[in-house]
A and B are shown apart, each in its own frame.
Chain A
Amino acid sequence: DQQVKQNSPSLSVQEGRISILNCDYTNSMFDYFLWYKKYPAEGPTFLISISSIKDKNEDGRFTVFLNKSAKHLSLHIVPSQPGDSAVYFCAASYTGKLIFGQGTTLQVKP
């Protein structure tokens, strides 16, 4: 039973355009959501997060949107850069644990 789902295994965008990564969840008890970025053979690094009481959080080129009624969150990267190419994981927090999605591989083409 996958409580956090990233239905797009991969995404390819042109440099300078917007990248939109999506994530769906099923458990309404999740109270915090996070996005991590991961390069091959390295540990994930924290990118941005959002509390369940908010619907938007922005940090530079990265913005996370939360739609609680739809149980959906998305990460927007504007403008996309080649260095953004990595695997992106969304995660949901509940009772001190993080539940991760399967990840989306983003490729930003020059």
Chain B
Amino acid sequence: DGGITQSPKYLFRKEGQNVTLSCEQNLNHDAMYWYRQDPGQGLRLIYYSQIVNDFQKGDIAEGYSVSREKKESFPLTVTSAQKNPTAFYLCASTHRGEFYNEQFFGPGTRLTVL
């Protein structure tokens, strides 16, 4: 039963604390992505990785960090430097290559910073 899992579904943290969001996929996809969704806005790209041990900043990378040590996993750390961390975070994955455009999304994590 292949897919993308994100945990936890809801996460609460105090201001000033770092927090790591999990994303795991068993689809054998090469590329993985992190997006953030805010009310009334589309999905904005935070970071992406097209191969293991390599990743690139997206449009809103400030205050976030990632790692890609395994093909299946792409955790996102929301640091205390992120000014407005409360949001809905979505992880996605796809095969790498020009013929693969469709990204598959996980169920998302709602992060609330108190």
Chain A contact residues, CB within 8 Å of chain B:
4, 6, 9, 32, 34, 36, 41-46, 49, 89, 91, 93, 96-103
Complex formed: what's the CA distance from A96 to B108 in Å?
21
Contact of B40 (CB < 8 Å), options: A9, A41, A97: A9
Q: Which residue of A lies closest to B106 (CB)?
A: A43
Instruction: Tell me if B41 and A102 are in contact (CB < 8 A).
Output: yes
B82 in contact (CB, < 8 A): no
Contact of A100 (CB < 8 Å), options: B42, B101, B104: B42
B110 in contact (CB, < 8 A): yes
Residues on the B chain within 8 Å of A45, using CB: 105
Complex formed: what's the CA distance from A44 to B107 in Å?
8
Instruction: Tell me if B48 and A97 are in contact (CB < 8 A).
Output: yes
B55 in contact (CB, < 8 A): no
Asked, given contacts A9-B40, A89-B42, A102-B40, whether A96 binds B107 with beta carbons under 8 Å apart, the answer is no
Asked, given contacts A41-B110, A96-B50, whether A46 binds B102 with beta carbons under 8 Å apart, the answer is yes
Separation in Å of the B3 CB from the closest CB of chain A? 10
Separation in Å of the A6 CB from the closest CB of chain B? 8
Residues on the B chain within 8 Å of A100, using CB: 35, 42-44
